[in-house]
Amino acid sequence: MDKFLNFFQSLWSFLLYSFPWRQIFYFIKDLFLILNAIILAIIVFVFFKIKNFRPKFSLVRKTKIKPLSKNILLKKQWQEIKKIGESEEPEKIYAAIIEADKLIENILKEEGIEGEHLADRLKKLDSYEIKTLNRLWEAHRFRNNLAHQEAFQPTLSEAKKALKDYEAFLKEIKVI
């Protein structure tokens, strides 16, 4: 029994005092640091590879649809709409809003965005890529109220805000 007890005492003292715990600890720590670095590198690599598979949509001159001369025509159309919208007569501002809506619809149609109406095309746009999309929706709803509700009587400031929303969208997609 003494031999058995002595064996366990000697084993215990060896494990407690003589075994290289510190070296093993640093080895394991270094091993996990290296594994973390490898895993981080794999995550970054995969992130950049996956980014290439993300669907792309942009109205910012990456398309081959609008040559420069067409862009100049769009700018002229917008300047005419804006000039009409600077009037203090409600009917002229309302007409400018309807024309701005048509202009946006034509631009989206030429970009190849499918849909029967402007609302259908707007649904296909991504608000993460187009920051002014919500403002464009508000302007389009305003235009629909003007066109379809006879009792709709907006103020001039509301109408001018709708024109500014159309303008913000056109600026973001670099038409003007």
Rounded to 5 degrees, what are φ and ψ at 39?
-65, -40
Do 60 and 173 touch, CB atoms closer than 8 A?
yes
**pLDDT at site 62:** 43
Which residue's entry shows tokens 């991504």? Answer: 126
Q: What is each CA distance from 158 to 25, 90, 97, in whole angstroms?
A: 70, 11, 11
- Its sign, for the CA torsion 169, 144, 66, 79, is negative
pLDDT digits (tens, 9 = 90+) for 96-138: 999 999 999 998 888 888 889 999 999 988 888 889 999 999 9
**pLDDT at site 37:** 96
Helices (H), the chain: 2-13, 21-51, 68-85, 90-110, 118-123, 133-148, 156-172
Do 146 and 152 touch, CB atoms closer than 8 A?
yes
Instruction: Give the fold, CATH level 3, of 68-172.
Output: Four Helix Bundle (Hemerythrin (Met), subunit A) (1.20.120)
Q: Is the pLDDT of residue 22 over 60?
A: yes
Burial of 100 (0-12, 13-18, 19+ CB in 10 A): buried
pLDDT digits (tens, 9 = 90+) for 58-75: 554 443 334 444 678 888
Give this prediction's pTM. 0.62
Rounded to 5 degrees, what are φ and ψ at 87?
-65, 160
**pLDDT at site 63:** 38
Domain ranges of the chain: 2-51, 68-172
d(CA 87, CA 76): 18
